[in-house]
Amino acid sequence: MNLIPALLVLADGTYYKGWSNNLSQTSIGEVVFNTGMTGYQEILTDPSYSGQIITFTYPEIGNTGINFEDTESKQVSVQGVITKCSSQKSYSWRQTTLWDNYLKKNNIISISSIDTRSLTKHLRSFGAMNGGISNEILNPRDLVDKVRQSPVMEGLDLIKENTTSVSFSWNNEFMTKWNYSCSKFPLSRKFLKVIVIDFGVKFNILRQLSFYGCSLIVVPATTSAHTICSYNPDGILLSNGPGDPSTASYAVQTIKDLLITDIPIFGICMGHQLLSKALNGLTFKLKFGHRGLNHPAGLLQKVEITSQNHGFAVDFDTSTESTELLQLTHFNLNDDTIAGLAHIEIPAFSVQYHPEASPGPHDSDYLFHYFVCLMKQRILYEN
């Protein structure tokens, strides 16, 4: 692998020198960090990372190569990659290509030999901020000027860039040899119709719903409630996605219209934030976000270890919605932000974290089962 000098500059003027792959380019985005020890391929292809440059705190990245079974979308969503050590060799019986080849094929610039511990501590102290990676501009003053001219994450609507342009049925079958769920539902018969509103959905959410007996129709984020209801769905899933939830007023209005139906609704990550806004909650930007595989979430001494990836959180303290109608089901036990809620009178619930994991622990898989139970209960009630 041919390495060339590169520069990482943050918006506050802090800079680091390192080495990059030989893509001649400059990339700017919000610099964030992920504390996971595994799953770098899933992270690269998670649409929720759109517009961001990922700092991997785990020092060795790329040593198991890349395969084409673990991707979470059809494209790499990140703006750039920061590592301590970018492995030039990889060893795995599942790999189909090398880490560096994969980055270059997808036109993603990386920078390695960075003190990622120092960078992470800086972001924790001063907050996630815009930054730039370049192997063309090696003068920090010149690069920081470009960084400061770029739009910040707060106020950006990135959903429209990551949602599907047309509705489609999800036909990809799950791989039973890798599936960890303990579902008792028949796997060959799809007996529940779920509409997935795509704000930047991960493939494993679709795989898990399929495993639990759901036939899926994925629709664009701008789809109206009338169109969604015309499919006569048994349930609606609000997917994960990137950007600032306060900019997606079109999605909030759609969810408000859906809430007056009796169709069960399940929100994940961005879906949780948009559902909360539809219930008159507020969202705010976290200082440096929650991104990793070991975040504790729970309530009343019941703890799940969860996979999380978000830079915004929900606030109901100043909400006009009566909290008597809402049950806060989970809190992030690191900082006490809201991590899950359910409406008492409406079959709607959501979580801030990723129950489908990929990567991450499987403690929260039961939420898909709960969603299925809500749909079956509605069907039984109507019949």
Residue finishing a domain among 126, 148, 170: 148
Whole-model pTM: value is 0.94
Question: For residue 189, what is the DSSP state?
Answer: -
Burial of 151 (0-12, 13-18, 19+ CB in 10 A): exposed
% of the chain with per-residue pLDDT over 90: 84
In a domain, residue 220? The reply is: yes
Same domain, 276 and 228: yes
In a domain, residue 37? The reply is: yes
Same domain, 139 and 106: yes
Domain carrying residue 25: 4-148
CATH of the domain at 10: 3.50.30.20
Q: Please write the tens of the pLDDT for every residue from 197-256.
A: 999 999 999 999 998 989 999 999 999 999 999 999 999 999 999 999 999 999 999 999
In DSSP terms, 198 is beta-bridged to 220
Same domain, 242 and 367: yes
Q: Please write the tens of the pLDDT for every residue from 72-128.
A: 999 999 999 999 999 888 889 999 999 999 999 999 999 999 999 999 999 999 999
Catalytic residue from among 30, 42, 72, 356: 356
Q: What is the pLDDT of residue 318?
A: 56
Same domain, 215 and 194: yes
Lowest mean pLDDT among 136-145, 180-189, 292-301, 323-332: 180-189
Q: What is the pLDDT of residue 189?
A: 60
State the greatest distance between any 2 C-alpha atoms of the chain, in Å, as a whole number: 70
Q: Is 354 a catalytic residue?
A: yes
CA distance 160 to 244: 12
In a domain, residue 267? The reply is: yes
Same domain, 121 and 173: no
Q: What is the pLDDT of residue 186?
A: 46
- Find, among 46, 59, 29, the residue nearest to 307 by Cα: 46
Same domain, 137 and 169: no
Residue finishing a domain among 118, 148, 178: 148
Q: Is 373 a catalytic residue?
A: no
Catalytic residue from among 122, 310, 330, 354: 354
Q: Do residues 194 and 205 touch, judged by C-beta distance below 8 A?
A: no
Chain-wide mean pLDDT for the chain?
92
Question: For residue 173, what is the DSSP state?
Answer: P
Residue 306 has pLDDT above 50, yes or no: yes
In a domain, residue 153? The reply is: no
CATH of the domain at 290: 3.40.50.880
What are the φ/ψ torsions at residue 361 (nearest 5 degrees)?
A: -75, 165
Same domain, 74 and 175: no
Same domain, 144 and 191: no
In a domain, residue 154? The reply is: no
Segment (H or E) for 29: strand 26-34
Same domain, 88 and 234: no
Q: What is the pLDDT of residue 180?
A: 54
Q: Please write the tens of the pLDDT for every residue from 336-381.
A: 999 999 999 999 999 999 999 999 999 999 999 999 999 999 998 8
What are the φ/ψ torsions at residue 198 (nearest 5 degrees)?
A: -90, 105
Q: What is the pLDDT of residue 171?
A: 76
Residue 50 amino acid letter: S
Q: What is the pLDDT of residue 157?
A: 96
Same domain, 135 and 215: no
Q: What is the pLDDT of residue 46?
A: 97
Residue given tokens 């999800």 in the structure block: 170
Residue finishing a domain among 103, 122, 148: 148
Q: Is 369 a catalytic residue?
A: no
In a domain, residue 65? The reply is: yes
Q: Do residues 296 and 222 touch, judged by C-beta distance below 8 A?
A: no
What is the total count of domains within the chain? 2
Same domain, 118 and 17: yes
Same domain, 133 and 68: yes
- Residue 24's SS3 state is coil
Catalytic residue from among 42, 72, 269, 310: 269
